[in-house]
Structure 1
Amino acid sequence: MRSFPPLPDVRDSRAPDALLSGHLWLLELIDGTGLRFRMEASGLLRFGDPETTYGDPGAAPVALRPAVRDVRERFDRDALRDAVDTPEGVTFFGVATHHRGTDYDWDRLPPFLGTDVWIGTHEGSESEARAGAFRPPDAAAAIFEGVGLDPVNAIEREVNGRDFDPEAYAVPQSAWRDGPAAGVVVRNKRGGRGVIRAADGPTDTGAEAPAVDDPEAIAATYVTDDRFERVVEALDRRGEEPTVDAVADRIVEAIARETPVRFAGGGGSADPARVRTAVIERTRRRLDDR
């Protein structure tokens, strides 16, 4: 699977000199974890984060599982087959949105936002490498929409690079929270890219989280009425029975995605199995009371 492209700091001397030429797209930088995937000839989707790939979708860290499920449920395989001759040569890149220090409006923010599309073989001019290329930002956004997924939101489109001063640029408000964006990704249509991070970026101290070795405290803090009802309603909309196991699994994933709790296997030490056991007891009582 194709690796994530580098994203240098636009204000750093290592940023490509040609990045700020031509017309630029400014995209919101989302504070989450990179998630990539491709479709095999059978239609099976294979996933990976920036460092590794998963032999099975269930092997993804708990905080990334809502994004994996979102892609698997919404991805239009036939649309991809109709669009390219070799679907397995296409790699999709994006962000699995979860709490890494930035508190988003989790009800509105999609679990996955697409950022890039690599097409391994494609029709193009002779000057384009036949081995493949990343698509320009406008084309990538259209591709994600064409296969049923949400592209990352553009802050500005077609900004003349001659008029863009990265040193004077102020990171705007986020589309997904009441506060500034984590930063802005600057893209040109020739594949150049870089990032301008917010001066006071998020710091993930985990100070708000209960002790990570206390699953009862985690469950008591985060199995709220609102979170419970949102999970049950989501299962109902899909026509799935809200069993104790199904609701508990989704609540644990919601805790991993929406809160400062860090689970083992994802850079933290809370044990997902022990937290799930604590969540099950509260879930059973709540379902019995419905």
Structure 2
Amino acid sequence: MATYHSGEIAVQERAGLARQAEFSLGGIGESIPPVAKDFLAQQPLIVLGGADHDGRIWATQLTGEPGFLRVPDPRTLLVDALPLPEDPLAQTLNGASAARIGMIAIEPATRRRMRINGRARREGDGLRVDLDQVIANCPKYLQKRDHHRAGPQESTARRTVTDATALDPAQQQAVRAADTFFVATASDRGDADASHRGGNPGFVQVLSPTLLRWPDYVGNAMFLTLGNLLLNASAGLLVPDWQTGTTLHLSGTARTVWDAEEIAKVPGAQRLVEFSVEAVREITAASPLRWTSPGYSRFNPPAG
């Protein structure tokens, strides 16, 4: 039977949503139902979160033709792809050792998504993931987009990698303009999770080259991300450039802000999260997918 860990319970109680969280617990299972198997088979993208060999948490993505995500049995996911050599989780996932990872599959065209957490091991040219959690998620704050594959000229573009310990001006602007990012966290035991955050452009504030802040909107009251952060402040962000295929990966630490006066300044915020940037990796031409301009979710509060 699914349970919450101590960090999740503590956040639920502080938010006054423990009863709602108990109701949401029914959305956490240990196996993939048939309808979710079909959903995964249609996807060209999955987002992953986990720790590198130095213990830093990162979020990244894997892509493939529909069918690259396969479910041979309800407790196993096969991913017919591996990270790029330049990817911050390449060493973790391309090696022989098992790694605890969190995943989220999203279908922006229909605003469907699901989270899958487990233990991944390389198997040939892909990954075999033994599942621990399968989590149903609501579609709030997910922007609608359709995708296509990059053309021949884009597909042959030279990939470049930029590493830093702070965001440069162009990266800061990319974060300010973002309507979507993904956040990876892990519990104090190392169990990883990956989640989606969305809103109107501007919902992520760049307070400095090394400090970001975003609102925590009304959700399912599970607080899987904030619960992990209470026990383990390490976190990773993935900010995709939907039009160019560039990926911006950030690793650092995060904390929840409960100050009522600060929260009241941000429309729709129930809490705030502050993320301290410690490592930056930007990879151009990282994804072969190109996405249309967004249809913004009707649930998005106005950006402050």
For the superposition of Structure 1 and Structure 2, which TM-score range results when normalised by the shorter chain?
A: under 0.3
In terms of Rg, which structure is larger?
1
Which structure would you say has the larger RCO, counting Cα contacts within 8 Å and 6 or more residues apart? 1
Structure with the bigger percentage of strand: 2
TM-score by length of 1: 0.24
Q: TM-score, normalised by structure 2?
A: 0.23
